[in-house]
Amino acid sequence: MGGDVGAPVVIPGAAISLARHRNIEFLLVGDRAKIEPELEKHPALEAASRIVHTDVAVSMEDKPSQALRRGRKTSSMWLAIDAVKKGEADVAVSAGNTGALMAMSRFHLRTLPGIDRPAIAGVWPTRRGDSVVLDLGATIGGDARHLVSLAVMGSAMASVLFNKPRPTVGLLNIGVEEIKGHEEIREAGETLRAMNLPQLDYVGFVEGDGIGKGLADVIVTEGFSGNIALKAAEGTARQMAELLRIGMQRSWMSRLGYLFARSAFRALRDRMDPNKSNGGVFLGLNGVVVKSHGGISAEGFAYAIDVGYEMVHYDLLTKINQMLNRDGGALRSVPTAQEAVS
């Protein structure tokens, strides 16, 4: 029911993902009267789905506290998360209100042992392939221990997605020199270097332009900076596309040039397609929840489902738990900001 459109995007998106992963079964949580007319257009999906009816939906304008208070037990968002909690579903995917989804997920699923706060992790297209970037806006600020835990969880996700046993990890900073940045970033860098964790290869600080260069498989930052970086990159991509479109129409010579270079432009458009980067994973929870952009197309929503499928298929939670159990003692030895002050 969430997102800018709701069922008319979510249902065909599920149908697209089902065509790619024939073994998926769906619980479609929401208003039966709105779901069934869309579902009838996709017989294969209808055969693989069960509707969980509720006519209560969290709006995109609801504050997290309001959604949690009013929507518990009855809203489509809560019931989807509850299905994961009860083991009736392996993953919940929503295009709804991000703050409400995070609040409900954290309240109902709880965080994994050793994780204080969850994070939103997304896949970022770069010159060298894809990178995992986190946190993209789940929580604001973070001490050194929080940043180190993000590095551990992000490396687990990267190893699942990219099939790399020891992904490279960088901390987003205003410079690559060890003396640059806030104290918590410098402390996290020192900690990661000293810990020398077997499941990740810490490469140091990475500046903002280093994300697109693909300087690390995993880029770690706190949610405020991560969300700004994400929105700036999305805006730049749209601006580039618009400027290219205007430029190609400027003269007959530019139109002719486009005819010769259109295959290259198609490849660029395909690489920068935001649909293919859709699907932020809520890492650190005792369950898998994936957040889709609210204004995405059906194809884009299908990619969010695909991300959830991959996370479950390769058992992301077990991998994160194994890393936390193996290195949890070292992680707990990193003081929080409050402990450091006291």
E strand spans, the chain: 26-30, 49-53, 91-94, 119-126, 129-134, 168-172, 201-206, 218-220, 280-283, 288-291
69: amino acid identity, one letter = R
Domain boundaries, the chain: 7-115+276-317, 125-274
The label of the residue with tokens 């990159």 reads 233
The label of the residue with tokens 């020398």 reads 196
- Quick one: how far is CA 11 from the chain centroid? 20
Contact assessment for residue 109 and residue 84, using Cβ atoms and an 8 Å cutoff: yes
> What are the pLDDT digits (tens) for 183-207?
999 999 999 999 888 889 999 999 9
Please enumerate in sequence order all residues whose Cβ is within 8 A of that of 230, keeping only pairs 6 or more positions apart, or say none: 122, 133, 136, 137
> What are the pLDDT digits (tens) for 97-152?
998 999 999 999 999 887 888 999 988 888 888 899 998 888 888 889 899 999 99
Q: What letter would DSSP give residue 287? A: S
CATH number of 125-274: 3.40.718.10
Query: pLDDT band at residue 320, thresholds of 50, 70 and 90?
Result: confident
On the question of a common fold for 7-115+276-317 and 125-274, the answer reads yes
- Order the strands of the 91-94 sheet from edge to edge: 91-94, 288-291, 280-283, 119-126, 129-134, 218-220, 168-172, 201-206
Q: What is the topology classification, in CATH, of domain 7-115+276-317?
A: Isopropylmalate Dehydrogenase (3.40.718)
Q: Let me know the angle formed at the C-alpha of 6 by 235 and 139, rounded to the nearest 5 degrees.
A: 50
φ, ψ of residue 180 in degrees (nearest 5): -85, 155
Query: pLDDT band at residue 78, thresholds of 50, 70 and 90?
Result: very high
> What are the pLDDT digits (tens) for 177-187?
888 888 999 99
Q: What letter would DSSP give residue 285? A: B
- Across the chain, mean pLDDT equals 86
The percent of residues above 70 in pLDDT, for the chain, comes to 88
Mean pLDDT within 9-13: 95
What would the two tokens of residue 318 be?
A: 């077990």
The percent of residues above 90 in pLDDT, for the chain, comes to 49
Residue 221 DSSP SS3 = coil
Q: What letter would DSSP give residue 178? A: T
Mean pLDDT within 289-315: 91
Question: Residue 341 has what pLDDT?
Answer: 41
CB atoms within 10 A of CB 244: 14
Q: Let me know the angle formed at the C-alpha of 153 by 68 and 25, rounded to the nearest 5 degrees.
A: 60
